[in-house]
Structure 1
Amino acid sequence: MRIHHLNTGTMCPIGRRFVNGTGGFFQRARMVCHCLLIETDDGLALVDTGIGLDDIAQPQRLGHRWVRQTAPRLDPAETAVLQIKSLGYSPDDVRHLLLTHLDRDHAGGVPDFPKAKVHVHRDEHAMAVSHQIAAPKGRYIAEQWKHGPDWKFYDEGGDDWFGFKGVRALGDREPDILMIPLPGHTLGHCGIAVRGKDKWLLHAGDSYFFHGQLQAKVRMPLVLGYFQRRVDMDRAARMANQERLRTLKANHGNEVTIFNSHDPVDYENCRCGGH
């Protein structure tokens, strides 16, 4: 499978030192929306969708507070759909959207691919869409799925994957794409594991925010750490899964590349490393 790394939304909050861990206190930080475009035998699969065209046309639907705090660039050229077109594909070639969770900066591009099947953990759908589980007020943006996507649900994983439990996201057609429950940031949060040409990739979503969190004795930037704690739905679960990811990197770093959704260091390392 050929895998493309895409940044589908740049965010530039003030206070680079407190967000990225380097630079000045009053410089603009840089955060990304790291997505994967995977060429499979069953068409294209997109891991997370970032910020979509409708979000850019109507930024108020993202929430004034969120826009003010994160300062997204809102550049249509960064959207997944336009990047996919620039690669020579049609949006209809995207058959599957594999979502780590349904927060606004991960599911914003869902309406740009109306014919795609949308894969999520059942608990995530139960909170964000069907409201069978109460979600924090204002957490999700219902307009991002008002078109009625074709949903595919997952529960707990079954296949063993380096000590984690995964589910074959596309069934037996693509056994090397797994959805791996990593709750904490949200109750239905998942990682997506994909076997690349040389090693596995694990898109860990928002299970951690800063590359140093998978290293020993690296200080978390102050504001980024505060934001991470504030948006945790189950902090104990997120911390436990973060420790499991740290162990995975220590024991199997030569077999698995782990990265998160928003850290530009993770994103650039993946692009430059050719993973």
Structure 2
Amino acid sequence: MKIHHLNTGTMCPMGRRLVNGTGGLFQRARMVCHCLLIETNNGLALVDTGIGLGDIAAPERLGRRWLRQTAPRLDPAETAVQQVRALGYSPNDVRHVLLTHLDRDHAGGVPDFPHAAIHVHRAEYDMAVLHKPAPPEGRYVTGQWSHGPSWSFYGETGEDWFGFKGVRALGDREADILMIPLAGHTLGHCGIAVRTSDTWLLHAGDSYFHHGQLDASPRAPMMLRYFQRKVDMDRNARSANQARLRELKLNHGKRVAIFNSHDPVDYENCRCGAH
């Protein structure tokens, strides 16, 4: 399977040293929305969607506070649908969208692929869409799925994958794409594992925010640590899963390349083939 690494939304909050770990306090930081476009035997599959055209047309739906804090560029050329077109495909070629979770900077492009099946953990759907249980106020942007997409749900049970319970996301058609439950950031948060020729890629979503958090001696800039704690829905689960990812990197780092959604270092390493 050919895999494209896409940045589907650049965010430029103030305080580069506190976010990226380098630069000045009054410089703009850089964060990305790291998505995957996978050429499968059953059409294209997209892992996360980043910011969508609807978000750019009506940015107020993203929330004034979120816009002020993250300072996204809102560039239509960065949207997943425009990058799919730039690669020579039609949006209708995207048959499957696999979401790590339904936060606004991950699901914004869902309406841009109205014919795709939307794959998500059942617990994430229950909270974000059905409000069972009710989510924290303002956490989700329901307009990102108000068009009524075709949902496909997953649970906690599945086959073993390096000690994690992985579920075959596309069934027997694509046995090498797995959804890995990694709850904590949200209750239904997942990672998406994709097998390449002889290794795996693990898109870990928002399980961690800075590459240093998977080091033997974990580290991350202060603002990212604060933000992570602030948005945790289950801190104990997030901490436990982050520790499991650290162990996975330590024991199987040559077989599994792990990256998160927003770290520009992870993104550039993937684009350059370092992962």
TM-score (norm 2): 0.99
Residue 133 of structure 1: aligned partner: 133
Matched, 1:242 2:242: yes
Judged with a 3 Å threshold, the aligned counterparts in structure 2 of structure 1 residues 274 and 214 are, in CA distance, closer, same or farther, namely closer
Residue 123 of structure 2: aligned partner: 123
**Where does 1:116-195 land on structure 2 (aligned, <5 Å)?**
116-195=116-195
Residue 7 of structure 1: aligned partner: 7
Residue 18 of structure 2: aligned partner: 18
**CA–CA distance in structure 1, aligned partners of residues 219 and 243 of structure 2:** 15
Q: How far apart are residue 218 of structure 1 and its match?
A: 4.4
Alpha-carbon displacement from aligned partner over 1:143-168 (angstroms, at most 9, x marks no partner): 00000000000001311100101110
Residue 252 of structure 1: aligned partner: 252
In structure 1, give the amino acid aligned to 2:77.
A
Residue 76 of structure 1: aligned partner: 76
Q: How far apart are residue 71 of structure 1 and its match?
A: 0.2
Q: How far apart are residue 198 of structure 1 and its match?
A: 3.5
SS of 2:72's partner is coil
In structure 2, give the amino acid aligned to 1:236.
N
Q: How far apart are residue 196 of structure 1 and its match?
A: 1.4
**CA–CA distance in structure 1, aligned partners of residues 34 and 174 of structure 2:** 22
**CA–CA distance in structure 1, aligned partners of residues 223 and 42 of structure 2:** 41
**CA–CA distance in structure 2, aligned partners of residues 157 and 42 of structure 1:** 24
In structure 2, give the amino acid aligned to 1:183.
A
Q: How far apart are residue 219 of structure 1 and its match?
A: 2.9
CA RMSD in angstroms, aligned pairs only: 0.8
TM-score (norm 1): 0.99
In structure 1, give the amino acid aligned to 2:268.
E
Residue 39 of structure 1: aligned partner: 39
Does structure 2 retain, via aligned residues, the 8 Å contact 1:157–1:181? no
In structure 2, give the amino acid aligned to 1:69.
Q
Mean Cα displacement is larger for which, 259-268 or 191-200?
A: 191-200
**CA–CA distance in structure 2, aligned partners of residues 92 and 268 of structure 1:** 28
In structure 2, give the amino acid aligned to 1:51.
I
Q: How far apart are residue 142 of structure 1 and its match?
A: 0.4
Residue 103 of structure 1: aligned partner: 103
In structure 1, give the amino acid aligned to 2:160.
D
Q: How far apart are residue 199 of structure 1 and its match?
A: 1.0
Alpha-carbon displacement from aligned partner over 1:112-161 (angstroms, at most 9, x marks no partner): 00000000000000000011212101000000000000000000131110
Mean Cα displacement is larger for which, 86-95 or 215-224?
A: 215-224
Does structure 2 retain, via aligned residues, the 8 Å contact 1:157–1:180? no
Q: How far apart are residue 224 of structure 1 and its match?
A: 1.1
**CA–CA distance in structure 1, aligned partners of residues 198 and 70 of structure 2:** 35
**CA–CA distance in structure 1, aligned partners of residues 220 and 212 of structure 2:** 7
Q: How far apart are residue 233 of structure 1 and its match?
A: 0.2
- The alignment of Structure 1 onto Structure 2 pairs a total of residues equal to 275
Alpha-carbon displacement from aligned partner over 1:65-84 (angstroms, at most 9, x marks no partner): 00000000000000000000
SS of 1:178's partner is strand
**CA–CA distance in structure 2, aligned partners of residues 22 and 121 of structure 1:** 35
Judged with a 3 Å threshold, the aligned counterparts in structure 2 of structure 1 residues 99 and 184 are, in CA distance, closer, same or farther, namely same
- Structure 1 residue runs of 5 or longer lacking an equivalent are none
Q: How far apart are residue 274 of structure 1 and its match?
A: 6.5
In structure 2, give the amino acid aligned to 1:55.
D
Does structure 2 retain, via aligned residues, the 8 Å contact 1:4–1:38? yes
Runs of 4+ more than 4 Å apart: none
Residue 263 of structure 1: aligned partner: 263
